[in-house]
């Protein structure tokens, strides 16, 4: 049994496209909760350095999204209370929470996707279809950690020579702007050097040859078939109206039927697959280590 990140990029792309599209293009709160829980669990299985910071940012984004809707939209029949003669309705509040859960869940899934899809895997996925797009995507992902690392170097250097001070909030803001300006200048200069270097090597002149150690294997075909099979009950429930949700004027969810339960179960299984593969891989590793 292999970890999900070892699967072919085509398989990974199809899987995450399926789970994200289901969450983004439906308003059913149960599906959004399943997507959120699955995204959090998948993110928890990844080994990332800035996990705490990511969690804080996602909590802030979720709170903002949950509060914006009831504050600026006053639709709904059930008024909870008034703020400056503006009604805060239960329906708008539920809609805001539902939207926040959906967006944060999708952000978690995209974060896991970005951890799995490294620059070389993106080049493999999009290189033959659109080499320039693949190059831009891979360079963009590559520049994120480089930009973060360069920002730290710049901040440490400016602090060491006494440019940055943290005596008060104004000094910290000025110092942050100085660091940001210097880091952006470094990024632009580095980008120009990279472009000139690639042009000197003849990039984009004529047809290119490709080599990749990544292969499409039997397990990739099986995973794609599992993904497509799991989508069938979900699509069936959508067509049947089992996931229908109305927020205004009254919040109502379609009465769950057999199609809805099958859809919820299929979506849950779909989101659990990478977690299950990770757990089985860990057990397999420990078993093999115990045999040494």
Q: By the 8 A CB rule, do 14 and 229 touch?
A: no
For the cut 70, the answer to whether the pLDDT of residue 203 exceeds it is no
Q: What does pTM read for this prediction?
A: 0.78
For the cut 80, the answer to whether the pLDDT of residue 45 exceeds it is yes
How far from 236 is each of 18, 241, 264, 275, CA to CA, in Å? 15, 9, 12, 26
pLDDT band at 40 (very low <50, low <70, confident <90, very high): very high
> What φ, ψ does residue 35 adopt, rounded to 5°?
-65, -40
What DSSP string describes 153-198?
A: HHHHHHHHTT----SSHHHHHHHHHHHHHHHHHHHHHHHHHHHHHH
Q: Which two tokens stand for residue 94?
A: 């539920």
* Predicted pLDDT at 238: 92
As a whole number, the mean pLDDT across the chain is 84
Average of per-residue pLDDT across 3-9: 84
> Which range scores top for mean pLDDT: 23-37, 48-62, 115-129, 187-201?
23-37
* Predicted pLDDT at 228: 94
Buried b (16+ CB within 10 A) or exposed e, 52-69: eeeeeebeeebeebbeeb
Buried b (16+ CB within 10 A) or exposed e, 197-236: eeeeeeeeeeeeeeeeebeeeeebeebbeebeebbebbee
Q: Which two tokens stand for residue 62?
A: 């979720």
Residue with tokens 């499409």: 216
Q: What is the pLDDT of residues 231-265, one digit of tens each?
A: 999 999 999 999 999 888 888 888 889 999 999 99
* Predicted pLDDT at 134: 66
Residue with tokens 């000025």: 174
Top pLDDT among 91 and 194 is at 91
For the cut 60, the answer to whether the pLDDT of residue 1 exceeds it is no
For the cut 60, the answer to whether the pLDDT of residue 70 exceeds it is yes
Q: What is the pLDDT of residues 80-135, one digit of tens each?
A: 778 777 788 888 889 999 999 999 999 999 989 888 887 778 777 776 666 666 66
Whole-number percent of the chain with pLDDT over 70 = 89
Tell me which H or E stretch contains 287: helix 258-290
Residue ranges covered by each domain of the chain: 4-120+216-290, 147-200
Q: What is the pLDDT of residues 208-239, one digit of tens each?
A: 666 567 788 898 999 999 999 999 999 999 99
To the nearest 10°, report the CA torsion of 259, 263, 266, 270.
170
Top pLDDT among 272 and 198 is at 272
Q: What is the pLDDT of residues 278-289, one digit of tens each?
A: 888 878 878 777
User: How many whole angstroms separate alpha carbon 12 and alpha carbon 6?
Assistant: 9
* Predicted pLDDT at 167: 67
User: How many whole angstroms separate alpha carbon 20 and alpha carbon 105?
Assistant: 9
User: How many whole angstroms separate alpha carbon 170 and alpha carbon 76?
Assistant: 44
Q: Cis ω on the peptide bond leading into residue 102 (within 30° of 0)?
A: no
Average of per-residue pLDDT across 3-27: 90
Top pLDDT among 75 and 131 is at 75
User: How many whole angstroms separate alpha carbon 132 and alpha carbon 26?
Assistant: 33
User: How many whole angstroms separate alpha carbon 108 and alpha carbon 275?
Assistant: 14
pLDDT band at 149 (very low <50, low <70, confident <90, very high): confident
For the cut 80, the answer to whether the pLDDT of residue 206 exceeds it is no
Q: Which residues contact 118 (CB under 8 A, 6 or more apart)?
A: 141
């Amino acid at each position: 049994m292999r970890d999900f990140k070892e699967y072919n990029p085509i398989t990974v792309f199809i899987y995450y496209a399926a789970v994200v599209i289901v969450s983004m293009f439906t308003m059913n709160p149960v599906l959004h909760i399943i997507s959120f829980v699955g995204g959090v669990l998948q993110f928890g299985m990844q080994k990332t350095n800035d996990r705490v910071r990511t969690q804080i940012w996602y909590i802030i984004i979720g709170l903002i999204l949950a509060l914006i809707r009831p504050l600026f939209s006053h639709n709904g029949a059930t008024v909870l209370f008034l703020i400056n003669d503006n009604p805060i309705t239960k329906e708008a509040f539920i809609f805001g929470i539902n939207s926040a859960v959906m967006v944060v869940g999708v952000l978690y899934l995209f974060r896991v996707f970005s951890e799995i899809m490294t620059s070389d895997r993106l080049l493999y996925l999009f290189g033959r279809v659109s080499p320039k797009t693949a190059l831009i995507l891979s360079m963009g992902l590559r520049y994120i950690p480089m930009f973060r690392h360069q920002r730290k170097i710049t901040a440490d250097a400016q602090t060491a020579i006494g440019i940055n001070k943290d005596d008060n909030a104004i000094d910290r803001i000025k110092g942050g702007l100085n660091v940001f300006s210097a880091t952006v200048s470094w990024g632009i200069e580095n980008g120009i050097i990279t472009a000139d270097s690639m042009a000197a090597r003849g990039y984009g002149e004529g047809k290119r040859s490709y080599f990749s150690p990544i292969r499409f294997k039997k397990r990739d075909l099986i995973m794609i078939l599992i993904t497509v099979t799991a989508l069938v009950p979900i699509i069936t429930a959508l067509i049947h109206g089992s996931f229908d949700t109305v927020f205004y004027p009254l919040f109502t969810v379609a009465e769950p039927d057999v199609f809805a339960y099958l859809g919820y179960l299929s979506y849950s299984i779909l989101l659990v697959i990478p977690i299950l593969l990770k757990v089985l891989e860990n057990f397999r590793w420990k078993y093999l280590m115990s045999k040494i």
